[in-house]
Amino acid sequence: MRRLSFACFAAAIVVVQVATGLTGTGYLLTQLTMAAWYSLVVVGLCLLMGYAGQISLGHAAFFAIGGYTTAVLSSVNLLPAKSALPVRALSAVGLTIGGTDPWGSAVLRLSPWISLAAAMIASAVVAYGIGLPVLRLRGHYLAMATLGFGIIVYRIALGTPLFGAADGLSDVPSFPLFPGLCLDGTRLHRVSSYYFSWFVVLAVIVLIVNLIGSRAGRALRAIHGNEAAAQAMGIDTSRYKLHLFALSAVIAAMAGVFMTHYTGGIGPGETSVMKSIRYVAIVAVGGMANLWGALIAGTVLNFLSLRGLFGTYDDAVFGAVLIAMMLFAPDGIVRKKRI
Amino acid sequence: MPLSLILQYLFSGITAGAIYAVIAIGFNIVYNTTGIINFAQGEFVMLGGMIAISLGGFMPLPVAVAGAVAITALVGGLLEFVFIRRMKNPTVIQMIIVTIGLSILIREAALHVWDEKVHSLPYFTGNEISSLRIFGACLSPQVLWVLGTCAAVVAGLSLFFTHTAAGRAMRACSADRIGAMLCGINARTMVTLSFMISAAIGALAGCVISPITSTTYDCGTSLAVKGFTVAIIGGLGNSAGAVVAGLLLGIVEAFCISFMPMSYRDVVVIAILLAALSLKPSGLFGSSASHALKEF
Amino acid sequence: MSLLEVNNLSKSFGGLHAVREVSFCVEAGTIHGIIGPNGAGKTTLFNCIAGSIRPVSGGTIRLNGNAIQDRPPHEVAACGIARTFQTIKLFSRMTVLENVMVGCHTNSRGSFLSGMLSLPFARAAERKVREAAMEKLAVAGIADLAKADAQQLSFGQQRAVELARALALRPQLLLLDEPASGLTMHETDRIGELIVAIRDSGITVLIVEHDMSLIMTICDRLLALSSGQVIAGGTPREVQADPEVIRVYLGDE
């Protein structure tokens, strides 16, 4: 059953791309790719909210931590320090990239793989740091704490010159993933980037489905089912919640890194309160514990939003979605399937 | 720092703190009656200011303010009646999400009804440059309006809850809903009433602070977060605590601004919130034991 | 050395002294009952032993000589104490089998990483857990309910699931909090037989119960509490005949 879902998903990815190719609507792939990165955040959040019952109203902050880390690190010019030992060592293993900046002068940059690793580590550190005091809280307290965390990151992004303040950071170089596969927003790499993004999503889903069916996943479901009983069965609930929070943060950061390289920049808007709330809205629509539902909802809603369908009512749509979901379909639109 | 400057910051802090306290009291009223934290509380403040500004265009100021308070109270009651009441046995997460959704809708509606520009109500007495000198510090008379209004709100509510039948009924509901219903109190009406009251006091706060801080369509969120912080620190549900906590927070925030870039101003308050939640979620005046027994 | 030694245990909540200087020992391989009128402090005592109430206000609790008072519940469970709850706490959104498999948590291995990557040793461990859980369900007599949604069962069936789940922990000591409450007479007899079988398999049982006929039938030793203090201890016959116990219960049997 699982294998079938994965295979269908993979097939759908290919079918969509071929369809756009045949109908000459290849430009849709760009928004579909971006929707993939946003859906990655949603999938991680669905895991957190649906399987551990933890609400996070500041998840966009982790996306931003990933994006900003990679933007800053991959823009650092190592050319002046070319002969220093660390730089030479990195070059020897192929972790530096030569290139030119927009004004034509040569630069030597860190490979984005390094900034990806750094971003994931940074987000994990922040998640553990925030999670330790905050995950002990429940209900409204937890919600407000995560909201507050999101606002702090937003303000720091908005107010710090290093992060480009209100304008954000741009001129983020492309991400040469493998020989022949480069992640950026150019038309040349549009199809390959599309496939890369959706197969990353598929890979993450595979990992998550594995996790849910494993001992650790069962422990998480037990915590959500009845925390006191879970503790009585020997599960260290605080630790599990913390690990899960960190996992969902790392997934979000990863999405942030890829998105930033794809679009070539990142701004404080990515970590705004509304962005965080959108992610929560999408998880609510998909059904809190329904991974596929969250994915479908995420893709559809983000794609439509990116295409500008909602116009100036973008935020209002998500607000209305939130309310409608809670009033009429608190378990989500897509009927819950057991994964 | 010269005394006059210290006093300046002090008054600025007390002014902001008084507003935070009123917002926190709004949270407390709804929380006490329903156990819900109404994330849309900040939007009532914004609505009060915006509506008063619009009405002020063709009405004398006091009438405009009264009108704004009344309309916002109606909005609050309507929200409860149309949305909150419909939810059957909601989980905490569902309630949180609904009230967040409501706050977004109100904000977006405000954006489309008015605009994204900065507005403010005229000063109640005097204007932007009139000032009183107190020990060398320059104070706008509006500050006295703010402090006076907040004190009146606190006193008025205190009287309401102890000396009126409706107020006592609301307290009964918060203590024991079923018991209250058994006494013939209509709990659902009390819930609606609590939303209306907290909307009204929020709106009043919004009107009285508007000349000083201006009102924009999105000023509600940050006010809600600060109000919530104050409610937590004072002990959720404890309005006297909210007043003390509000004043403290306002003063701390004001002094932090004196040496920190303006853009980090919100960070201070939120850092305090996170610290409070981590160290003593029951607040300065709450007891940890009863806090541990709380429903969520 | 007794399996469980409780020495001068006290727990107060503000001015309320729920448990006052309670001392008793539970010998391995016995069924030890705790009785007392409502408010006697039985559940508080239980929760102190299980670690869900802490810190204690005084005294010690030792399992095989090791102090376990003030340890969090998951550590107490890892030491070998399993418990059921007065109000049934089954895991919602999980089947009966999955509920019991959670009980095997302390006896199995598998982290986040090995789970995500679905490593062979993790999958093998899962198979073992599934078998162990099925076996416990069989012991409790509800193997046919394995795939059922735990919350859809009848009250008696849910109690059986909770019991099977506690057994899956392979505990040394099993704490049963009013296992017969809400059960019919027939179901009570069945539970009694089950508990005796559990004792015979080597697990020590500490049981809080109001149902006197069940207590008198299965318990090897009895402890009577009233207002947080021990008023009698010994064999069921001895405790039943104790004048203080008779006074407190007003002749109730």
What pLDDT digit, counting tens, does each position of A260-288 carry?
A: 988 888 888 888 888 898 898 888 888 77
Q: How far apart, in Å, are the Cα atoms of B296 and each of B31, B195, C113, C148?
A: 12, 20, 31, 29
Q: Which helix (H) or strand (E) holds A114?
A: helix A112-134
- Domain ranges for chain C: 1-80+171-253, 93-168
CA distance B34 to A293: 32
| CATH code of the domain made up of A2-328 | 1.10.3470
Residue B296: predicted pLDDT = 38
Whether residue A123 has pLDDT greater than 70: yes
- Gap between the Cα atoms of A241 and A225, Å rounded: 13
pLDDT for position A159:
82
CB contact under 8 A, B97 and A325: yes
Give residue C49's pLDDT: 92
Is residue A137 pLDDT above 50, yes or no? yes
pTM for this entry = 0.87
pLDDT digits (tens, 9 = 90+) for A63-100: 999 999 988 888 877 777 777 777 777 777 777 777 77
Best residue in B30, B32, B41, B100 for a mutation probing chain A (most A CBs within 10 Å): B100
**Sequence-distant (≥ 6) Cβ neighbours of residue A114 within 8 angstroms:** A73, A90, A95
> What chain A residue is nearest to B272 in terms of C-alpha separation?
A148
Give residue C251's pLDDT.
55
Please name the residue that has the structure tokens 């308070």: B69
Query: Nearest-CA neighbor of B119 among B72, B49, B172?
Result: B49
Q: pLDDT (tens digit, 9 = 90+) per residue, B7-37?
A: 888 888 888 898 899 999 998 888 888 888 8
Determine, for residues A216 and C111 on separate chains, whether the beta-carbon distance falls below 8 Å. yes
* Each residue's pLDDT tens digit, A158-177: 888 888 777 888 877 777 77
**CA–CA dist C12, C59 (Å, integer):** 12
pLDDT of res. A134:
84
The answer to whether residue A336 scores a pLDDT higher than 50 is: no
Q: Which residues contact B279 (CB under 8 A, 6 or more apart)?
A: A133
Distance (Å) from the C-alpha of residue B94 to the closest C-alpha of chain A?
A: 6
- CB proximity under 8 Å: A 133-152 to B: 133-134, 136-141, 143-145, 147-149, 151-152
pLDDT tens column, C77-115? 999 999 999 888 999 888 999 999 999 999 888 888 888
Over residues C23-31, mean pLDDT? 92
In this prediction the ipTM stands at 0.89
Judging by DSSP bridges, how do beta strands C66-67 and C81-83 pair with one another?
unpaired
Give the neighbours of chain B: at least 3 Cβ pairs within 8 Å.
A
pLDDT confidence band for B286 (50 / 70 / 90)? low
Contact with chain A for residue B274, Cβ under 8 A: yes
CA-closest candidate to residue A73, choices A117, A103, A34? A117
* DSSP sequence for A180-212: TEEESS-STTHHHHHHHHHHHHHHHHHHHHHHH
pLDDT, residue A193, reads: 85
Q: In CATH terms, is domain C1-80+171-253 a member of 3.20.20.60? A: no
Can you tell me the distance from the alpha carbon of C191 to that of A318, in angstroms, rounded to the nearest whole number? 53
Residues of A within 8 A of B276 (CB-CB) are none
Using a CB–CB cutoff of 8 Å, tell me whether B107 touches chain A.
yes
pLDDT score, position A339: 36
Three-class secondary structure of residue A121 per DSSP: helix
| Mean of pLDDT values over C174-178 | 93
Is B273 close to A148, i.e. CB distance below 8 A?
yes
Residue C25 bridge partners (DSSP): C5
Determine the longest span between alpha carbons in chain A, in angstroms. 65
Does a cis peptide bond (omega within 30 degrees of 0) precede residue C37? no
pLDDT band at A333 (very low <50, low <70, confident <90, very high): low
Q: What is the pLDDT of residues B138-182, one digit of tens each?
A: 777 888 888 888 888 888 888 888 888 888 888 887 777 777 777
The answer, for C115 touching chain A at a CB cutoff of 8 Å, is yes
Tens digit of pLDDT for each residue in A201-235? 999 999 999 998 899 999 999 988 888 999 999 99
Q: Which domains does chain B have, with CATH numbers?
A: 3-292 (1.10.3470)
- What integer pLDDT is reported at residue A271 of this predicted model? 86
- Give the position of tokens 């999400």: B97
Set of chain A residues whose Cβ sits within 8 Å of the Cβ of C72 = 231, 236
pLDDT at C253 over 70: no
Q: Evaluate if residue C252 carries a pLDDT over 70.
A: no
Residue C167: predicted pLDDT? 92
In three state form, how does the secondary structure of chain C look? CCCEEEEEEEEEECCEEEEEEEEEEECCCCEEEEECCCCCCHHHHHHHHHCCCCCCCEEEEEECCEECCCCCHHHHHHHCEEECCCCCCCCCCCEHHHHHHHHHHHHCCCCHHHHHCCCHHHHHHHHHHHHHHHHHHHHCCCHHHCCCEHHHCCHHHHHHHHHHHHHCCCCCEEEEECCCCCCCHHHHHHHHHHHHHHHHCCCEEEEECCCHHHHHHHCCEEEEEECCEEEEEECHHHHHHCHHHHHHHCCCC
- Give the SS3 label for residue B138: strand
CB contact under 8 A, A289 and C93: yes
Q: Which residue of C lies nearest to A226 if distances are taken between CA atoms?
A: C91
Beta strands A181-183 and A175-178, pairing class: antiparallel
Residue A5 — φ and ψ, nearest 5°?
Answer: -60, -45
What span, in angstroms and rounded, lies between the C-alpha atoms of B90 and B42? 22
| CA-to-CA separations, B3 to A165, B6, B129, C5, in angstroms, rounded | 35, 5, 21, 66
Q: What is the pLDDT of residues A247-257, one digit of tens each?
A: 999 999 999 99
Neighbours of chain C (3+ CB pairs under 8 A): A
Q: Supply the pLDDT for residue B289.
A: 54
pLDDT category, C176, cuts 50, 70, 90?
Answer: very high
